Amino acid sequence: MNLLKSFSPGSSWWLLVHECRMFFYDMQGTSRISKKKNKLPRGVSLSGKIVFGLLFFMMHGIYWTVMRKFPPYTGTVPPNTLMFAGVGMVGVFSLMLSGALNRTVVALFERGDLDLLLSSPIASMSIFKVRLAGICVGVVFMAWLLLSPIAHVGLFLGQPHWLGIYPTIVSCAVIASSIGMLCTLGLVKLIGVRKTRIVAQILGALVGASIFIVSQTFSQSTPAFKTQIMQTITPWFQSGASLGPESYVWIPAKALFGAPLEVLIFSAFAAMFFWLTARTTHQFFVRGVQQSGAVARATVLTSAESLKGLRFRSGLLPNVLRKEWRLILRDPHLISQVLLQLLYMLPLFFVILKGKSLLYGVTAGLTFLAASITGSLIWIIISAEDAPDLLASSPIALKRIRNAKLLAASIPVLVLVLPAVIYIACTDIKLALTLLLSLSCAMLCVGLIHLWLDKPSQRSQFKARAQGNLGANILENFSNLAWAGVTYLAGVGSWWATIPLGFALLMLGIARLFKPA
Cα(199)–Cα(515) distance, integer angstroms? 39
Q: Over 80: is that where the pLDDT of 149 sits? A: yes
Q: Say how many C-beta atoms besides its own lie within 10 A of residue 454's C-beta.
A: 19
> pLDDT value at position 236?
78
Name the percent of the chain lying above pLDDT 90.
Answer: 7
Mean of the pLDDT values across residues 205-232? 71
Name the percent of the chain lying above pLDDT 70.
Answer: 75
179, 310 in Cβ contact below 8 A? no
Cα(488)–Cα(398) distance, integer angstroms? 36
Q: CA–CA distance from 401 to each of 173, 175, 202, 397, 452 (Å)?
A: 46, 48, 30, 7, 14
The residues near 336 (Cβ < 8 Å, ≥ 6 apart) are 102, 201, 202, 204, 205
Among 136-140, 226-230, 408-412, the range scoring the smallest mean pLDDT is 226-230
> pLDDT value at position 273?
93
Length of the chain: 517
> pLDDT value at position 282?
72
| Residue ranges of domains in the chain | 15-33+42-222+240-294, 318-513
Give the pLDDT confidence of 310-365 residue by residue, as tens digits. 555 667 778 777 877 777 776 656 666 666 666 665 565 555 555 555 677 778 88
Quickly state the pLDDT bin for 35 (edges 50, 70, 90).
Answer: very low
**First-to-last C-alpha distance (Å) of the chain:** 63
More confident residue, 193 or 353: 193
Mean of the pLDDT values across residues 231-246? 76
Q: Over 60: is that where the pLDDT of 184 sits? A: yes
Mean of the pLDDT values across residues 122-146? 84
Give the pLDDT confidence of 96-117 residue by residue, as tens digits. 888 888 888 877 777 767 767 7
Quickly state the pLDDT bin for 33 (edges 50, 70, 90).
Answer: very low
481, 364 in Cβ contact below 8 A? no
| Phi then psi dihedrals of residue 118, to 5 deg | -70, -20
Quickly state the pLDDT bin for 34 (edges 50, 70, 90).
Answer: very low
> pLDDT value at position 27?
62
More confident residue, 203 or 492: 492
Cα(273)–Cα(261) distance, integer angstroms? 18
Give the pLDDT confidence of 270-313 residue by residue, as tens digits. 999 999 988 888 777 766 665 555 554 444 444 444 445 555 56
Mean of the pLDDT values across residues 362-376? 84
Listed residue (114, 120, 103, 113) closest to 286, CA to CA: 114
Write the DSSP symbol of residue 106.
I
> pLDDT value at position 272?
94
Long-range pairs for 320-327 at CB < 8 Å and ≥24 separation?
A: 320/401, 320/404, 320/405, 320/408, 321/404, 321/407, 321/408, 321/411, 324/381, 324/405, 324/408, 324/409, 325/408, 325/412, 327/386
Q: Which amino acid is at 141?
A: F
Listed residue (248, 272, 271) closest to 261, CA to CA: 248
Instruction: Dump strand ranges (E) for 21-121.
Output: none
424, 432 in Cβ contact below 8 A? yes
More confident residue, 439 or 28: 439
> pLDDT value at position 305?
47
SS (H, E, C) 363-402: HHHHHHHHHHHHHHHHHHHHHCCCCHHHHHCCCCCHHHHH
**pTM of the shown model:** 0.69
> pLDDT value at position 515?
77
> pLDDT value at position 349?
59
CB burial of residue 450 (10 Å; 0-12, 13-18, 19+): buried
DSSP string, 308-364: HT--PPS-HHHHHHHHHHHHHHT-HHHHHHHHHHHHTTHHHHHHHTT-GGGHHHHHH
317, 407 in Cβ contact below 8 A? yes
Instruction: Dump strand ranges (E) for 383-484.
Output: none
Local structure of 430: helix, strand or coil:
helix
270, 132 in Cβ contact below 8 A? no
DSSP string, 199-248: HHHHHHHHHHHHHHHHHHHHHTS-HHHHHHHHHHHGGGGSTTSTTSTTSG
Mean of the pLDDT values across residues 221-248? 76
Give the pLDDT confidence of 377-404 residue by residue, as tens digits. 888 887 777 677 677 677 777 778 888 8
Listed residue (217, 34, 19) closest to 113, CA to CA: 19
431, 359 in Cβ contact below 8 A? yes
Q: Over 60: is that where the pLDDT of 41 sits? A: no
Cα(462)–Cα(468) distance, integer angstroms? 10
